[in-house]
Structure 1
Amino acid sequence: MTPADRSTTRRRLLTAAAALSGTALLGGTATAHAAGTHGAAWPTAFPLPYGFQPEGIAIGTRPFAYFGSLANGDVHRASLATGRGSVVVRGLGAGHPTVGLKIDPQGRLFLAGGASGEIRVADARTGETEQVYATGGAFVNDVILTPGAAWFTDSFAARLHKLVLGRDGAPRAVETVPLGGDWVQGDDFTANGIERTPDGSALLVVNAFADGGRLMRVDPGTGAARTVDLGTARLPNGDGLLLLGRTLYAVQQAQNAVDVFRLNAAGTRGTAVARITDPRFRIPTTAAAWGDRLYLPNARFDVEPTPGTEYDVVAVDRV
C-alpha cells in the first residue's frame, strides 16, 4: 500500500468509525513500573471484543489496561494478569469514537474523540462520562497528561488542544495552542502521538508529513515546534509515543514495528537504538508499559471492520 493509500485507508476507517515551559509545569521524567512485577504466567496476548476496533491504550497505577473503541467510543478494561475484561465506560455511539486515551491516579479517563472533535472525561470507576468538550477540531487524535494540563493532538490542523487541570487534577477549560516554527501541516493526517521530553520542559509530537515523518519538540507556552535530531531516522507511519526515562518508543503502525530511541534530557536529539518487530503485530497503533513488557493493541487498519472482526492485544519485551 502506498503512503497515500495507507493514509486514505486510515482516514476512511477512523472517520467511518466515527506558558507552560519548565520542568515544574510539565513534570519530570516519565517512569515505568518496576520490571518483573508480573508473573511469568501472565498472557503475552489476549483478545478484545469482536468488532471493538481498538486504537489507544492506557495503563495506570494498577495492572489493568484500558482500550478505546473507534466503533462507538466504548472503553474496555482488561486485567494484564488474565487478559479478561469488560466495557467500563459506554461510548456515545457511532460518530463519537475514542482514539487516544490516558488515565490519571484518580481514575479519570481523558479521551480523544477523533472526528467528533470532542474531548471527553470519564470516571473509570463509575463508568460515567462527566465532561464533553467540543473543540472544533477536525480530528482529536492522542493525549498526554502533565501536572497542569491534558494535551491533545489535532491531526488535520496545526494546533494542540490544552485541557487545563486544577490542582486536584480536575478538568477546567479547553484552550487552543497554534503550532508554528518548523511545523509543516499536510493535507491529511499530520500530528499523531504526543509525549513529554525527558526533562519535562516541552512536548514531543509526531509529524507524519514533514520530511518523510519527523518528531517535533513543541514549546507548550508558544506552540513553536523544532525538529528533533534523530539522525537519518524517520517516522512516516509514526503513531503512539511512549517515554520511559530517556527511552522513547515510537509505534510505526503500518510498518508493524516499534522504533526505539535514546533521547537527551531536553528532547532535542535522539539516537536510534533498536526496532521491535513481532509476527503477531497486525498494525499496532499505541503502546503502554507494565513491568518489563510493552502492551500494544492491533488496530488491523488493513481490513474493513465488521461486527465480527477479531482484535487482540500483544505484549513484547521492553528494550
Structure 2
Amino acid sequence: MAPTDRSFARRRLLTTAVALSGAALLPSTAHAAETGEHPWPAQFPLPDGFQPEGITIGAKPFAYFGSLAGGDIYRASLATGQGSVVSKGLGTGHPTVGLKIDRHGTLYLAGGVSGEIRVADARTGEIEQVHATGGTFVNDVILTPGAAWFTDSFKAQLYRLARGAVDTVPLTGDWQQGPDFTANGIERTPDGSALLVVNAFANGGGLMRVDPRTGAARAVDLGTARLPNGDGLLLLGRILYAVQQQQNAIDVFRLNDAGTKGTAIARITDPRFRIPTTVAAWGRRLYLPNARFDVEPTPETEYDAVAVKQV
C-alpha cells in the first residue's frame, strides 16, 4: 500500500511521520445501483486533504476510508456519495492505512509508520484498543475466523490479532525481503487454508501463499504476470483483484482453490484512476480510493473514490 520507489516511500514516511471486504446486494438493489432511475454515483468526493489509502465495505452499503494524514475514518454512503468522519484518529504520526470491518461493526486498522494495530467501533467512533507491534510499517489487514492478520512492509513478518493479543509470525520459505516496501495487500486463499500476501520485491513482484500456522511462504504461480506495484487485494470466489497503484490498473486472476496458482484473465483500467490503492466490492461494482501519490499532499488536495464494474 505504498509506492515501491525508494524516494517516495521515504517521503510518505516523513509526511504521514466476504463480510470482511465486501458484501452482496439483493439482485433488485444491485440492479438499481447501476441501471435504476436514480443510479448510485460511480464517483464521489472525499474530504480535501484526507489522504485516503484503505477502503472496506461491510454488510451495509457504506464504505469506510482510512486517512494517512491523521488516522481519521470517513464513512460514505454508496447510494448518495455523501459522508462524514465517524472516528477521529490519533493525529500526525498515527495514520490509518489498511482497514477491515467485521459483521459486528468493529474496524481493524493498520497504523502504518506508528507500528500500531488499532480497533475501533464503527458506530461510536471510539478507539477501543491500541496495540504496539514494534513494527516499522503496518500496512494492510484481512479478517479470518478468530483473527485479524496484518502485514509489515519493512519486516519479514505478519501480525496476528486474536482475543485482544498480538502475535508476530516470521515469514520464511520463499519470502524475500526487499530494501523498500515489500509486503503489501493480504487476502485468504479461496479454500481459506492459507493467506495470500503481495511481495513487491521477489521475482519482480508477485504473490506469496503463507501458511498461517508456520509463516512458511511459497510463491504463487502467476505465469508471466508480475505485481511490481501490487497493493490492495480482493478475493470474490476464486477471482482475485490486485490493485497495481502506479500503473492505474487492477489485474484480475482466476485462482485454484488452494491459491497455489493463478491465471491472469483481465486488466481493468479507467481514466478516473489517479493511483488507486485498495479495493472493496458491493453488488456488481468495485470501489477504490484514489490516493494520488503522484502529488505532494496539502490540506487543499482533492481526493475521491471511483466505482468500476467487476469482471
Match of 1:136 among 121, 134, 137: 134
Residue 13 of structure 1 aligns to a residue whose secondary structure is helix
Q: Are 2:16 and 1:17 equivalent residues in the alignment?
A: yes
Match of 2:221 among 229, 236, 242: 229
1:165-204 Cα deviation digits (max 9, x unpaired): 4xxxxxx200000000000001110000000000000000
Equivalent runs, 1:2-41 vs 2, <5 Å: 6-18=5-17, 32-34=23-25, 37=30, 38-40=32-34, 41=39
Any conservation in 1 of the 2:190–2:237 contact (CA below 8 Å)?
yes
For residues 45 and 21 of structure 2, the distance between their equivalents in structure 1, rounded to whole angstroms, comes to 28
Equivalent runs, 1:117-266 vs 2, <5 Å: 117-165=115-163, 172-266=164-258
Any conservation in 2 of the 1:29–1:245 contact (CA below 8 Å)?
no
Match of 2:296 in 1: 304
Pairwise CA distance, 1:13: 1.9
Residue 33 of structure 2 aligns to a residue whose secondary structure is coil
For residues 134 and 29 of structure 1, the distance between their equivalents in structure 2, rounded to whole angstroms, comes to 23
Unpaired segments ≥5 residues, structure 2 = none
Match of 1:21 in 2: none
Any conservation in 1 of the 2:278–2:289 contact (CA below 8 Å)?
yes
Equivalent runs, 1:104-119 vs 2, <5 Å: 104-119=102-117
Residue 39 of structure 1 aligns to a residue whose secondary structure is helix
For residues 71 and 30 of structure 1, the distance between their equivalents in structure 2, rounded to whole angstroms, comes to 23
Aligned partner letter, 2:275: I
Aligned partner letter, 1:74: D
Residue 115 of structure 1 aligns to a residue whose secondary structure is coil
Match of 1:95 in 2: 93
Match of 2:262 among 267, 270, 276: 270
Aligned partner letter, 2:114: S
TM-score normalised by structure 1 residue count? 0.92
Match of 1:168 in 2: none
Match of 1:73 among 71, 74, 98: 71
Q: CA RMSD in A?
A: 1.7
Pairwise CA distance, 1:28: 12
Pairwise CA distance, 1:8: 2.4
Residue 203 of structure 2 aligns to a residue whose secondary structure is helix
Pairwise CA distance, 1:12: 1.5
Pairwise CA distance, 1:11: 3.8
Aligned partner letter, 1:206: V
TM-score normalised by structure 2 residue count? 0.94
For residues 21 and 223 of structure 2, the distance between their equivalents in structure 1, rounded to whole angstroms, comes to 24
For residues 47 and 180 of structure 1, the distance between their equivalents in structure 2, rounded to whole angstroms, comes to 41
For residues 247 and 265 of structure 1, the distance between their equivalents in structure 2, rounded to whole angstroms, comes to 10
Match of 1:22 in 2: none
The 1:276–1:148 alpha-carbon spacing in structure 2 relative to 1, beyond 3 Å, is same
Match of 1:84 in 2: 82
The 1:113–1:31 alpha-carbon spacing in structure 2 relative to 1, beyond 3 Å, is closer
| Number of residue-to-residue matches in the alignment | 302
Aligned partner letter, 1:33: A
1:117-136 Cα deviation digits (max 9, x unpaired): 00000001011000000000
Any conservation in 2 of the 1:98–1:111 contact (CA below 8 Å)?
yes
Pairwise CA distance, 1:142: 0.1
Unpaired segments ≥5 residues, structure 1 = 19-26, 166-171
Any conservation in 1 of the 2:22–2:56 contact (CA below 8 Å)?
no
The 1:15–1:163 alpha-carbon spacing in structure 2 relative to 1, beyond 3 Å, is farther
Pairwise CA distance, 1:30: 8.4
Any conservation in 2 of the 1:29–1:197 contact (CA below 8 Å)?
no
Any conservation in 2 of the 1:117–1:134 contact (CA below 8 Å)?
yes
Pairwise CA distance, 1:17: 1.1
Any conservation in 1 of the 2:20–2:101 contact (CA below 8 Å)?
no
